[in-house]
Amino acid sequence: MKLKKKIVLLPGDGIGPEVTRAAASVLQECAREFQHQFETIELPIGGAAIDKTGSPLPNETLDACHKADAVFLGAVGGPKWDALTVGKRPETGLLGLRKGLGLYVNLRPVKVLEPLRGISPLRPERLGDLDIEIVRELAGGMYFGERGNVNENGVERAFDTESYSTPEIERIATFAYTRAEARSRRLCSVDKANVLTSSQLWRRTVTAMSTVYPGVKLEHMYVDNAAMQLTLRPTQFDVILSSNMFGDILSDAAAALVGSIGLIPSASFGTSAPLFEPIHGSAPTLAGKDVANPIGSILSATMMLRDTFGLGLEADWVEQSLVRVLNGGYRTTDISEPGTKTVSASAFLEVLHQEMQRTFEHAEKYGWGV
Ligand code: IPM
Ligand code: MG
């Protein structure tokens, strides 16, 4: 089946443009080989948009995203804009985009790639076949709660508010339960219900829903304990459900377990176009040096192919080719280890394109697509 899709590319700041270009080249090769049409347009967001238009999320950008079949983002932020107040920063552009597209689900799979076992900080028996999914609420919580600065008799106070409503919890929990049902039927909901009222509602709501999903084994964990358990014995988890803030923190921690945050993709779903982005930041110190690992971005593109366009075969093609490149010893700096060939990001991408060609031409030999 030949598809025609409109994809908005939002390269953003720092290494964002480099990794987005890499993923876009993979998508274009996919279109060529399988005769799909991926029409892409590039628009500014974050610091790049502030410099160009004065706003981190220009109307034109958000409007185009609403009309797209999918949105693909690199990263936002950097020292150049660090002095700006919260509402004016590059990050506000990303949060505005998430809110504007009604994206309340953020799915972050953390899975060990076989050839990269050696770069995990965990002992092999602890790493096991780590394969978890973090389901992070993305449109509420402290990121979007009431905030401000007040002056109390000459003393400055600043505040942010964590708040969740029952429907907000139910819609993200529905996604997490469904995900768990399709996997190993284990769901761990993370909160801080021993301290926070919003977490008590979170726990009560998630618990009440368990009758709808009798096949799923629900467990609750306080976030501090979850951080420890994730580090000590991560394979006990399957699907982890969390608030916006806790999910932000736990997903970086989980990424460390597989050796580099540069490896982890994400997909966000909601009421408008879905958004795909690697979970890493703009890494300003790496920008322009041709070292940024494109894997998180490329795997975000394969999530787009598989989960949103229904192109499982194409996604397998890219992912299997990628694993063979890694098996061949090619690495970017962040994932290199003794005995491997550390190459620039552009050389890594070049090798991946060659491998994709080879896989395509010798599909049968590789057991792909048959
Ligand atoms: C992430 C990032 C963002 C977040 C920043 C850049 C606003 O850390 O996607 O995890 O906190 O959500
Ligand atoms: Mg983060």
Structure tokens at 113: 């790639």
Q: For each of the domains in the chain, give its residue range(s) and CATH number, in order of start.
A: 1-104+265-370 (3.40.718.10), 121-258 (3.40.718.10)
Give the atom of ligand 1 at the shortest distance from the alpha carbon of 106: 9
Q: Contact, 162 vs 245, CB < 8 A?
A: yes
User: Is the CB of 46 within 6 Å of ligand 1?
Assistant: no
Active site residue 164: no
Looking at residue 369, its pLDDT comes to 67
Active site residue 69: no
User: Is the CB of 91 within 6 Å of ligand 1?
Assistant: yes
- Atom 12 of ligand 1, nearest CA residue: 248
Looking at residue 140, its pLDDT comes to 98
CA distance 255 to 264: 7
Active site residue 224: yes
In order along its 370 residues, the chain shows pLDDT tens digits of 799 999 999 999 999 999 999 999 999 999 999 999 999 999 999 999 999 999 999 999 999 999 999 999 999 999 999 999 988 999 999 999 999 999 999 999 999 999 999 999 999 999 999 999 999 999 999 999 999 999 999 999 999 999 999 999 999 999 999 999 999 999 999 999 999 999 999 999 999 999 999 999 999 999 999 999 999 999 999 999 999 999 999 999 999 999 999 999 999 999 999 999 999 999 999 999 999 999 999 999 999 999 999 999 999 999 999 999 999 999 999 999 999 999 999 999 999 999 999 998 988 777 776 5
User: Could you tell me which residues come within 8 angstroms of residue 210 by beta carbon, excluding any fewer than 6 positions away?
Assistant: 216, 218
Query: What number of other Cβ atoms are within 10 A of residue 311's Cβ?
Result: 21
Catalytic residue, chosen from 13, 191, 238, 248, is 248
Give the atom of ligand 1 at the shortest distance from the alpha carbon of 282: 6
Give the atom of ligand 1 at the shortest distance from the alpha carbon of 277: 9
- Atom 9 of ligand 1, nearest CA residue: 279
In sequence order, what DSSP letters do the residues of 69-111 get, joined into one string? SEEEEEE---GGGTTS-GGGSHHHHHHHHHHHTTEEEEEEEEE
Catalytic residue, chosen from 224, 289, 341, 365, is 224
Tell me, rounded to whole angstroms, the distance of Cα 95 from its chain centroid. Answer: 14
